[in-house]
Chain A
Amino acid sequence: MSWEWILFATLAAVAIASAALAISLKNSLACAMSLGVSFVAMSGLFALLHAPFVAVIQILVYAGAILVLVVFVIMLLNLPAGDPRLERVTKLRAVLAAAVVVPLAPIAIFAIPAAAGAAGRDAAGSATPLPDGFGGVGAVAKSLFTTWVYPFEIVSLLLLVAMVAAVVLAKRKI
């Protein structure tokens, strides 16, 4: 057991457990907090995958901006505790969820990795060394501003549209 393996197992367990808590806790603020723990653990997994730039952006964007916004909205709405409309899992809803999740789970967890030939690549993937500076700011920037420059520009336009939409939607009188 290498230290990398132990680190992976710990981070994966934390990410999965806190994501499960985030969808099962009653208090939405507690959900948001455990979602934050999940985001930070995911950032550690990203760093283990030799993606230091994306790991830092994960902390900045998800654990920083998105989570703060969610917590801000929860505080702003100040929902009464134990609203009966909020959590009442009907039988129909449980059956529907089971009908979707029971076939989906084996596909997502086993069939897709098998189709991608994941197990066969485990040995080869870690045997050959990665190029120098893999996943660093320079390498990612080079890819982003050459191959991916049009998607990058389109996303900047999308962010502008989203900003205007957020202002219009949250305004008191439209």
Chain B
Amino acid sequence: MDLALAFFQTSPAAATPAGAGLSAYFLVSGVLFTIGVLGFLVRKNLIVLFMSVEIMLNAVNLALLAVSRFVARTEDGHVLVFLVMALAAAETAVGLSIIIAVFRIKRGVSADDLTVMNG
């Protein structure tokens, strides 16, 4: 625990009133993004692949907000996150209808069913 604290609080000044700093948020964001990539590569269920993409988008949103709070100190990051969320909503609508269309043709939602482009 001491080691973890030393990693997050590099200077004694940061320890006084503050919560977690930029590096702590970047750490969480990086771990979440890696989880998303891992899920996208390992799983075969199209719905779970889709959820992995959502996890990655969320991780990037967290990094954007952290930079907006600690470095830029403007609301530009908040607006970008807002636009990314609108993008994610559009992606959900199209992605899920593609999944429904795949299910209708193949009677399954495995990534292995989609081999048309396999040459």
The binding surface of chain A is classed by DSSP as helix
Among A20, A73, A130, A161, max chain B CB count under 10 A is at A73
Residues B85 and A62 in contact, CB atoms below 8 Å apart = yes
Residues A66 and B79 in contact, CB atoms below 8 Å apart = no
Among B28, B39, B76, B100, max chain A CB count under 10 A is at B28
Chain A contributes a number of interface residues (CB within 8 A of B) equal to 96
Chain B's interface size range is 35 or more
Given contacts A38-B58, A69-B96, A159-B90, contact A31 B23 (CB under 8 A): no
Residues B96 and A73 in contact, CB atoms below 8 Å apart = yes
Residues in B53-102 with C-beta less than 8 Å from chain A: 54-55, 58, 61-62, 65-71, 73-76, 78-83, 85-94, 96-101
A77 to B105, CA, bound (A): 12
A31 to B44, CA, bound (A): 13
A66 to B85, CA, bound (A): 10
- Given A16-B35, A49-B69, output 10 extra A-B contacts at Cβ < 8 Å: A4-B18, A22-B48, A35-B51, A45-B28, A49-B25, A85-B44, A93-B41, A135-B75, A144-B79, A148-B76
